[in-house]
Structure 1
């Protein structure tokens, strides 16, 4: 049992030396009583060293015998290996310590209305209750549950039984003896009798108050962050609207300049000639019609801009080439005024998406290119050009807008789509145009936008899905 051969332990001293040092004292006390005549038998548990230098628990019984016709005494002993039992008991004690330290309560209760307790662990004292209160039926499990959660647990038990589950979980609140409310997690198995009726619940309760408080704090923080981001988005949208309004007024001013000049010349002509004998009614009608034509053109310009800046509430099928031509029509006067050449090549490609939002995004990129050209022209003169190409790229329509307004530095390119980031002076821009463009393309239109340096300039690439993968969106900027 211990690995020794017969005869290796020849006397009491050899045997006693093998006893674990923590057990020697109690073994020695028992033998002292025997040798003093106070007792003639030995019963005890101790650890004995094995041949391989380990220790084993043993249960020993012994009796002192005195030989006839002699004063010699002999102890006859029997030992039983109880090492497995001892280790098992230690593991149970470790589990009990773990349960108590972890605020875990193990219980077994009856499946009745009050969940009367059969047994419960000592760790129930962490909530201020004693194990004995439950054993004497002075308390039931349902008595310590927060009033609003009692029905919650009852429903959970009934549901588990109806679904024939082997176990179930539930989160609820317990009230301790001090009136403090604690959140707990319950996990229990359903025990059945010989007739397959669920008669008992056997499980554990774990205090998760800190986790629940952290979850609530996190929920509040997330909610606050969401609300803050919504406010920021609304502010950005409002600023984008104001910036777009400024651009729109600038474009209208450019397009109205010539017709206003024409109307002004007609009015001066009428003033100087209406009393002239050669000025007939037919001539008056002619010049009135010319003025009306110019005014109609100006009115149509307002309608064009109003429709252009109106956000799309629903997706519609449209031709990309036609959409870009509308963008160029809006910005034509300013681009010609700035002596910027436009090169436009496009395949006939139809997609189903938000048409006006694409137009606004393209206009933002064109305005960004125009600004870059202005900055470069402050240093040297050159033939400015913006090139727009529309091609098919696998399952996407690819729109490439390139300019020769100079390359971007790497750190600027990394941040070009960030809100409020701008390389222009404060009076020249808000830094939200490209941010809104990226938001529209990637969030609303489910596309991709990229930017890279090319020779003498920058190229923006937009990829839009050919297939309809969009759902109606909530327009938050109205």
Structure 2
């Protein structure tokens, strides 16, 4: 640990995160441009005996992020940053940056050299064409995460906007270009998730490092510090990119699996001459429904962060039916009977954000399905009921998977708690479901064991 001033690393006007932590004494992070380059900065205050001693700043350069991504996957990635975000002296002294295809943006030219070393190809073979670059900048100007398919060389073009967490200023975007003869829309989702997981992994490692730093302090004071830090983290989790990544991945796993299963089944039946013509429209509809759900999930979580959620009056039965339609194929493939106890003759109207209820229902249905598969239940079933009781709307989901262990049932809604293997669950699905029902819809979500298995109950108060 050294004094940064000894190495002439004085903080510049662009490093708002350092000033923010110095002023507010709380951790923060953001994309920033420093004295020697740009990337993501994570800053943590050092406090002992309630006295602010200083701060710790950890950075991950854009070159390190893109190089790691391109080393593992067949993609071309770069950070496209607005030119006015850089000081003129910085651009004059740093020869790594050059003007991008379109005015007002610059990018790091060493990225292509990194990719050249990894792919063993010439720059001209991997450098994006003008047409692809044009699509990138068109998407980037929308200032939201999105992907499109470009016919030229079967390319998938993806952009992820970059905002400063403190000033909320739009600084540019991350570009990802996937290439290959066999690339399709499923690959777009796959690579996007993997890219986002890289950021989640870095965030987790930084939090682990923070705990190690605290261990050197006095034990009694450390206990108090950990308690305070955890309270701050709980309050900030909904606004952190790491939680958004985890939730998107949790929501996408089943739809992606369903799409893959349907596509593989069609291909296999075609190879063995067993493909029936009337099977194609049904399977294509299921793929479209799942891809629409993936797109809606991104919109939902983007709205969570930007706090621009729009409520409208919906029919509860319709929202339930749309959720069941998405998961129906997965249940049938695993020989799970779906029992519906729903009155469709009397529409029940409710004002809400439409995608949120579907997200909760699919979370619970997926958990029920996973429990049945894990326990190898024969004659398995899942029953969903819609009941009107006084001024309450009750939605219950019950399975016959023999219930949840008593030691786990009290922790089932805790963040990051999961009974599944790490590769199958993040522990965020039920936590987010409870948050949506209780904080967004003003209802309640509870669980208990019935005679058959787990019984989840959603209570909404009639408006």
In the superposition, the TM-score normalised over structure 2's length comes to 0.43
In the superposition, the TM-score normalised over structure 1's length comes to 0.42
- The structure with the larger Rg is 1
